[in-house]
Structure 1
Amino acid sequence: MMNLSQVEAFRAVMLSGSTTAAARVLHTSQPNVSRSISQLEKAIGLQLFERSPGKLTPTEEGLAFFDEVQRSFLGLEKLDEAAGKIKRFGTGLLRIAAVSTIALGLLPRAIKRFTQVYPDVGISIHMGHSSVIAQWIDAHMCDMGIVSQLSNQAISGEPDVLYRINSVCMMAKGHRLAQKALITPADLAGETFLSVAKPDWGRAHVDRIFDEAGVTRKMNVETSYGSIICSLVAIDMGVSIGNPLATLDYQKDAIVTRPFEPAVTCEGLLIYPKGRPTNRLVGEFTKVLRQLAQEECDAVQKRQDTAGV
């Protein structure tokens, strides 16, 4: 049976061109390299080199065998890289779950920034409702989750606030309300209103605000996804009240936002599997995510200030 040292000697000769050079690479003697090559040929039943004084020339069998050796060593190098990742970052794979508002905007931008520093880290992205993400986290299916507000019964650990920002009124560019610096419930009387679905957090709060103001809206469309609401607003299907971070990718072209009062607060919360040891990879990504979330919240405020609010 051949062994690894024999294969390493053969590979070193093929790569360096001679047994003498291979001996230097392997930190051994030239006779040891020659002996290993002869033993390998005997073990596999192939003549790997044509021998002439002071020279080894690979045979056709030797070249074919070298191709297989290279593929095997490439696999070993990948295993070595994987071990390095595990040593530096735990599993070397970051599994992130997020609600759609974050998964389709802030999260991809954070991943892009993160991979500029850690290009070899694997990342798996999952999207779902807050309650579903909480279940994934409790089951240790994901390393971290980014959710909106949750009931105490929905999570097993204490959530960590990523951001807290006031909702805005969203409308298509050119809408009559875009001339106003501040939107109130009375301004939306009779307007087609795109709402989050009734079970979702925030729906009851917003409905109560309009009920207390005695304002009636046209409500024919509802959805659980803020990204869908933004798309509908962008094509002038109606107005809505929602998370301003979800509108950042739309505002330049299609959506205008204005502050809304009474204030409706939006939160982004980080949740982690209970009882799992601290993962450096999760910690490093969280730092990037926090910095970007702050930058985007600041950008929202600056845009409102620029609009004269």
Structure 2
Amino acid sequence: MMTLRQIEVIRAVMVTGTIGGAAKLLNVSAPGISRLVKYTEKSLGLRFFQRQNGRYFPTPEAQNIFEQINGVYKKVDDLSETISNIGRGALSELRIGSVPSISQIMVPRAIEQVRRRYPELRIDINILKLEEAIDYLLLDRGECVAMSYRLEHPGLDFLPLASGELFCVVPDGHELAGCKQVSAKQIIQYPLIGIDPNDPYGRIMAEIFARNKLKYDITIRARFGTTVCALVKAGLGIAVIDQFTVAHGGYPGVAIIKIVEPTRFDTYVAVKRGAPLSLHVENFIACLRAEMQAINPTRNPPAKAQGRPRKT
């Protein structure tokens, strides 16, 4: 039986035709190559080479062995190419979902980092509602969904992403636009644009008023935060929106104002319970978590969450 090192040395001599050439090819000393060739021939009881004028030529009985050695090297080269492709992401696809509030700004920034690390990775991104997210994961259409809320479900785990805050958004030029902060009581004095309070995401927005026992009227309802911001920009009212929707100046034409009352909420990544996560989705989650936590670095991720422990 030959070791991989012996196979490597014998092939190097075969390719270069000299001990010195093999030593240079393998970046080792020539005496070491010579000793290993002699040892291999002695241990196997056959001669690999005939020496003529300082060069090494394969013996007739060794020809079949050399063909097998070349076959081994071809398989090693194929393995190396496969490993290289995996490292570039060429043989894989990242399939992820996200609720709209996180998909607008945060997901693209995370994907940019993922693409830099895996330049050939195929990526499929789906913008999902809550009811769609459950089937998306349970039917293995994707590996994870970025969520602005957590629900109890026996088939899902929820991994913490980041905590965020709500802000009041008003059109540029609005009388509140110059304020450093506003209260919930001030906000309800203006026509409100928002998301249905019965929607899980809408409840996050409505909680500020419910907690302060304030009656409010949403004059225009829209399904997604980006639509809400567009309506605000058009001068049709003001709104309460999460910081991730409007992060990094992602929605010009509106002023973003801090709200006096506490408005913290938590975000998560939902995954199918018990399903192993691919290397690429783990990298995406890490990038997304870093991007979202960087928006407000003084905030810590939510302390309580169902789910698997993070890998170390």
Q: Distance in 2 between matches of 1:187 and 1:135?
A: 40
Q: Distance in 2 between matches of 1:189 and 1:268?
A: 26
Q: How many angstroms does 1:117 deviate by? A: 1.9
Kindly indicate whether the alpha-carbon contact (under 8 Å) linking 1:131 and 1:150 is maintained by their aligned counterparts in 2.
no
Query: What is the aligned partner in structure 1 of residue 102 from structure 2?
Result: 102
Q: Distance in 2 between matches of 1:181 and 1:191?
A: 17
Q: How many angstroms does 1:148 deviate by? A: 1.6
Moved more, 102-111 or 90-99: 90-99
Query: Kindly tell me: are residues 150 and 266 of structure 1, through their superposed partners in 2, closer, same or farther at Cα, counting changes over 3 Å?
Result: same
Query: Kindly tell me: are residues 150 and 105 of structure 1, through their superposed partners in 2, closer, same or farther at Cα, counting changes over 3 Å?
Result: same
Q: What is the letter of the counterpart of residue 185 of structure 1?
A: A
Kindly indicate whether the alpha-carbon contact (under 8 Å) linking 1:139 and 1:273 is maintained by their aligned counterparts in 2.
no
Q: What is the letter of the counterpart of residue 151 of structure 1?
A: L
TM-score normalized with structure 2 length:
0.63
Matched, 1:127 2:112: no
Query: What is the aligned partner in structure 2 of residue 284 from structure 1?
Result: 283
Q: Distance in 1 between matches of 2:250 and 2:295?
A: 13
Q: Distance in 2 between matches of 1:212 and 1:288?
A: 34
Query: What is the aligned partner in structure 1 of residue 118 from structure 2?
Result: 118
Kindly indicate whether the alpha-carbon contact (under 8 Å) linking 1:130 and 1:148 is maintained by their aligned counterparts in 2.
no
Query: Kindly tell me: are residues 292 and 222 of structure 1, through their superposed partners in 2, closer, same or farther at Cα, counting changes over 3 Å?
Result: same
Q: Distance in 2 between matches of 1:99 and 1:105?
A: 11
Q: Distance in 2 between matches of 1:249 and 1:167?
A: 15
Query: Kindly tell me: are residues 202 and 96 of structure 1, through their superposed partners in 2, closer, same or farther at Cα, counting changes over 3 Å?
Result: closer
Query: What is the aligned partner in structure 2 of residue 158 from structure 1?
Result: 157
- Once the two structures are superposed, the pairs formed by residues 204-283 of structure 1 within 5 Å of their partners are 204=203, 206-207=205-206, 209-210=208-209, 213=212, 215-248=214-247, 250=249, 253-283=252-282
Q: How many angstroms does 1:267 deviate by? A: 2.5
Q: Distance in 2 between matches of 1:179 and 1:128?
A: 35
Matched, 1:180 2:179: yes
* Cα distance per residue 1:207-231 (max 9 Å; x no partner): 4643565645452211221111111
Query: What is the aligned partner in structure 2 of residue 192 from structure 1?
Result: 191
Kindly indicate whether the alpha-carbon contact (under 8 Å) linking 2:88 and 2:120 is maintained by their aligned counterparts in 1.
no
TM-score normalized with structure 1 length:
0.63
Matched, 1:136 2:144: no
Count of residues in Structure 1 that have an aligned counterpart in Structure 2: 227
Kindly indicate whether the alpha-carbon contact (under 8 Å) linking 2:166 and 2:241 is maintained by their aligned counterparts in 1.
yes
Kindly indicate whether the alpha-carbon contact (under 8 Å) linking 2:196 and 2:223 is maintained by their aligned counterparts in 1.
yes
Tell me, which stretches of 5 or more residues in structure 1 are unaligned?
A: 1-26, 28-79, 301-309
Q: What is the letter of the counterpart of residue 188 of structure 2?
A: A
Q: How many angstroms does 1:251 deviate by? A: 6.0
Query: Alignment identity in percent?
Result: 17
Q: Distance in 2 between matches of 1:130 and 1:138?
A: 13
Kindly indicate whether the alpha-carbon contact (under 8 Å) linking 1:188 and 1:217 is maintained by their aligned counterparts in 2.
no
Query: Kindly tell me: are residues 98 and 202 of structure 1, through their superposed partners in 2, closer, same or farther at Cα, counting changes over 3 Å?
Result: closer
Kindly indicate whether the alpha-carbon contact (under 8 Å) linking 1:190 and 1:218 is maintained by their aligned counterparts in 2.
no
Kindly indicate whether the alpha-carbon contact (under 8 Å) linking 1:92 and 1:121 is maintained by their aligned counterparts in 2.
yes
Q: Distance in 2 between matches of 1:208 and 1:115?
A: 37
* Cα distance per residue 1:46-68 (max 9 Å; x no partner): xxxxxxxxxxxxxxxxxxxxxxx
Q: Distance in 2 between matches of 1:259 and 1:164?
A: 16
Q: How many angstroms does 1:129 deviate by? A: 1.1
Q: How many angstroms does 1:179 deviate by? A: 2.6
Q: What is the letter of the counterpart of residue 178 of structure 1?
A: A
Aligned to 1:256, what secondary structure does the other structure show? strand
Kindly indicate whether the alpha-carbon contact (under 8 Å) linking 1:90 and 1:281 is maintained by their aligned counterparts in 2.
no
* Cα distance per residue 1:101-123 (max 9 Å; x no partner): 11221111211122122110110
Q: What is the letter of the counterpart of residue 200 of structure 2?
A: W
Kindly indicate whether the alpha-carbon contact (under 8 Å) linking 2:168 and 2:241 is maintained by their aligned counterparts in 1.
yes
Query: Kindly tell me: are residues 87 and 169 of structure 1, through their superposed partners in 2, closer, same or farther at Cα, counting changes over 3 Å?
Result: closer
Aligned to 1:159, what secondary structure does the other structure show? strand
Query: What is the aligned partner in structure 1 of residue 166 from structure 2?
Result: 167
Query: What is the aligned partner in structure 2 of residue 35 from structure 1?
Result: none
Q: How many angstroms does 1:277 deviate by? A: 2.2
Q: How many angstroms does 1:194 deviate by? A: 0.8
Kindly indicate whether the alpha-carbon contact (under 8 Å) linking 1:194 and 1:222 is maintained by their aligned counterparts in 2.
yes
